[in-house]
A and B are shown apart, each in its own frame.
Chain A
Amino acid sequence: MPGGVAAEAFIDERSDMRLLFTVLLLFLGISSGGAVDRPASPESRPDDAGGRVADLRRSLVGSKHDFTDVLGGAGTACSACHVPHMMAVRPASQPGGGVLTTQPATVEVYRIAGQRRVFAVDRYTPGPTSLVCLGCHDGTVATSTMGSGHALLAGVREGFAVPDEFVWRDHPVGVPYPSNRREYRAESMVTAEGKIPLPDGRVECISCHDPHNRSGVDKMLVMSNRRSALCLSCHIK
């Protein structure tokens, strides 16, 4: 089953673009899976991949992430965040000769804009998925999450000690989920329903907010917070 963060695959550039959508969807946690070794043939892709994309697009329409009108109409619903372009990042070379081949090169497949493969695992540092959000939610394109009172240690630079202004703020982006503390539910319980993703075991933007607005609730939350339901998914009170 294909999937995984920063999926890299040896694929032919002529591969079916729908496969790329599938990889994207898997990355977003819509489906689970392991690492990609080789591309699946078009026949082996999940039959409902196109339907899932359509569902995502439908949920996006009318939300604050719907840039269709300002970008210029139909076909642009995804392109504000997803850059549909493949780039050969490490051309294969002939053994000994260093000559470029025409055969499969290593390509990056539909990585989300801003996604990085490396980040400091031991720090309160936003992970790759959150960097996508922060690329706009820095006060310029959208509400800032850096200097606002809403959240976050995302406002703290890499390697920076916790500053006084931020210590009362909660839900630091990029913090490892404290699964081993008794006031929190086990990570497996939190993620069991598939609504609350914890990428690499960390609390990221998408742990609480769904950029595709599938639940349709206020603040683009991953689920309704009626009677603190979302809060209590993690916190034991």
Chain B
Amino acid sequence: MPVLPHQVTRSLPRAVIGLAISAILPTAGCVSLHRADKHTFEPLHFPSADAWPRLVLYGNLSHLLPTFDRTPPLELWLYGPSSFGKTAMRNPQGMALLGTRLLVCDQGRSDIIAVDLADGSSLIWGDPDHRPRCPVDIAVGAPDSVYVADANLRSVLHYGVDQRFRGEIKPAEASDERFRPAALCVGDNILYVGNTSGHQIDRWDLTTRQWLDSLVPPKSQPNLVAPTGLAFTRNGVLLTVDAIGARVFRYRNDGRWLDPIGRPGRGQGELIRPKQVCVTAGGLMLVTDAGRQSVVVFDGDGRFVTEIREQSEAWRGLTLPFGILALSPERMPAPPQAAVRETADPTAYIVVSDSLGRDSLLLLGVFESPVQESQRAR
């Protein structure tokens, strides 16, 4: 299936309507040349520039990637550039990496947007005859499958890496009220699905194509209410973010549930409306929190490390952060200049999707060990 750029998906009637509207809406229709808004963003260090581990916020991808999202001329003419010079994501949520492409569930467009990390160009990804209606999360599974959680269709959409639609995955016996996929994760050839209506983690065996027993924490632990984020640690522990219970549950592959990380609250290391989680190679766990408007960072044992949040005038912070994805440095084909200027190489890059905020997709660098300093020196 050929790749469809934005221009192709814009139908003529829609364009005509847009033209009419551009004449009456003050925020639209300004004829302006696309300006690559390469404003400078001074990297911010969390918790501080000399702390280990620390995270460095480089800025948003539209500023960091070479030619991020070249706005199609028609759209530019009809609607003008966004106020900060880019056509960016509208409501980015879950993310996954497919080759050099960052796949982003953009609920505002109701599409999957693929951003090439090598050159910043973007395109609408997927089968135009089977577009998702409410994509909230996405996962890539071996060998050639992409899964999209669709909250409106209440099913998991299965695409090939060639973008062809292959089918829907949903429990046959489950009513719509019992299945709302909100999070996806693939491990050991099993597709894990955070089911916020069923308050459980459903499991689909990708080999036998059968549903396995669902996962629910034991009664000795708080109830799992709304699993909106799933990720595996390096040693195979399944992390499950509970957006309502405000905890991160931990399930070991031997069937044992470890104590949850975090608890509801506004103190350090507490959570309000956590959404998704990712894990770095060094074991840091990063949780997006749409209540705290931040990313809360824990170490491998669940101890609070730092929180990435607004910094008065320097950075106005996140507005409903949602997705979070850890990339090893070799998966970042074009390291941003802001990262190159650092004295050490990050052990990981983190991309955060800010579903309602100005920055859309943020890039962080993770520095987990002082050993890195000497590596750069060599």
Task: Please say whether chains A and B are actual partners in one complex.
Answer: yes
Chain B residues contacting A144 (CB-CB under 8 Å) are 107, 134, 136, 151-152
- Residue among A125, A141, A163 making CB contact with B196, cutoff 8 Å: A141
The answer to whether B223 and A108 touch across the interface, beta carbons within 8 angstroms, is: no
- Minimal Cβ-Cβ distance residue in A for B79: A161
On chain A, which size bracket covers the interface? 35 or more
Q: Is A147 on the interface with B (CB-CB < 8 A)?
A: yes
Q: Known: A71-B223, A126-B356. Contact between A138 and B264, CB under 8 A?
A: no
B61 CB to nearest chain A CB (Å) = 14
The answer to whether B151 and A140 touch across the interface, beta carbons within 8 angstroms, is: yes
The answer to whether B196 and A140 touch across the interface, beta carbons within 8 angstroms, is: yes
Chain B residues contacting A86 (CB-CB under 8 Å) are 266
Q: Is B226 on the interface with A (CB-CB < 8 A)?
A: yes
Q: Is A52 on the interface with B (CB-CB < 8 A)?
A: no
Report how many residues on chain B are interfacial, defined by Cβ distance under 8 Å. Answer: 62
The answer to whether B245 and A71 touch across the interface, beta carbons within 8 angstroms, is: yes
A210 CB to nearest chain B CB (Å) = 19
Chain A residues contacting B28 (CB-CB under 8 Å) are 161-162
Q: Known: A83-B265, A85-B266. Contact between A164 and B14, CB under 8 A?
A: yes
Interface string of B244-274 (1 = CB under 8 A from A): 1110000000000000000011110010110
The answer to whether A140 and B291 touch across the interface, beta carbons within 8 angstroms, is: no
Cβ < 8 Å to B, chain A residues 139-174: 139-141, 144, 146-148, 154-165, 167
Q: Is A222 on the interface with B (CB-CB < 8 A)?
A: no
Q: Known: A71-B225, A71-B245. Contact between A138 and B355, CB under 8 A?
A: yes
Cβ < 8 Å to A, chain B residues 83-100: 83-84, 88-91, 93
The answer to whether A140 and B25 touch across the interface, beta carbons within 8 angstroms, is: no
The answer to whether A164 and B18 touch across the interface, beta carbons within 8 angstroms, is: yes
The answer to whether B109 and A160 touch across the interface, beta carbons within 8 angstroms, is: no
The answer to whether B151 and A161 touch across the interface, beta carbons within 8 angstroms, is: no
Chain A residues contacting B272 (CB-CB under 8 Å) are 83, 113-114
- Residue among A72, A114, A140, A157 making CB contact with B226, cutoff 8 Å: A140
Q: Known: A135-B273, A138-B107. Contact between A161 and B225, CB under 8 A?
A: no
- Which of B114-122, B161-169, B204-212, B315-323 contacts its partner? B315-323
Q: Is A118 on the interface with B (CB-CB < 8 A)?
A: yes
Closest CB pairs A-B (n = 10): A139-B151, A85-B265, A140-B182, A147-B107, A113-B291, A87-B266, A159-B83, A135-B273, A135-B290, A158-B358
Provide 15 A-B residue pairs closer than 8 Å at the C-beta atoms, listed in order of the A residue.
Answer: A70-B199, A87-B266, A113-B272, A116-B293, A118-B316, A131-B293, A135-B243, A136-B243, A138-B91, A139-B134, A140-B93, A157-B88, A160-B83, A161-B27, A164-B21
- Minimal Cβ-Cβ distance residue in B for A85: B265
The answer to whether A71 and B151 touch across the interface, beta carbons within 8 angstroms, is: no
Q: Is B110 on the interface with A (CB-CB < 8 A)?
A: yes
Question: Total number of A-B contacts with CB less than 8 angstroms?
Answer: 174
The answer to whether B82 and A160 touch across the interface, beta carbons within 8 angstroms, is: yes
Given A144-B136, A156-B108, A161-B82; 13 other pairs, CB 8 A cutoff: A135-B290, A135-B320, A136-B244, A138-B91, A139-B93, A139-B134, A140-B196, A146-B91, A147-B152, A157-B360, A161-B28, A162-B21, A167-B21
B358 CB to nearest chain A CB (Å) = 4
B9 CB to nearest chain A CB (Å) = 11
A78 CB to nearest chain B CB (Å) = 11
The answer to whether A158 and B223 touch across the interface, beta carbons within 8 angstroms, is: no
Chain B residues contacting A223 (CB-CB under 8 Å) are none
The answer to whether B83 and A135 touch across the interface, beta carbons within 8 angstroms, is: no
Q: Is B357 on the interface with A (CB-CB < 8 A)?
A: yes
The answer to whether B266 and A83 touch across the interface, beta carbons within 8 angstroms, is: yes
Q: Is B228 on the interface with A (CB-CB < 8 A)?
A: yes
Q: Is A134 on the interface with B (CB-CB < 8 A)?
A: yes
Chain B residues contacting A158 (CB-CB under 8 Å) are 319, 356-358
Interface string of A64-108 (1 = CB under 8 A from B): 000100111000000110010111000000000000000000001
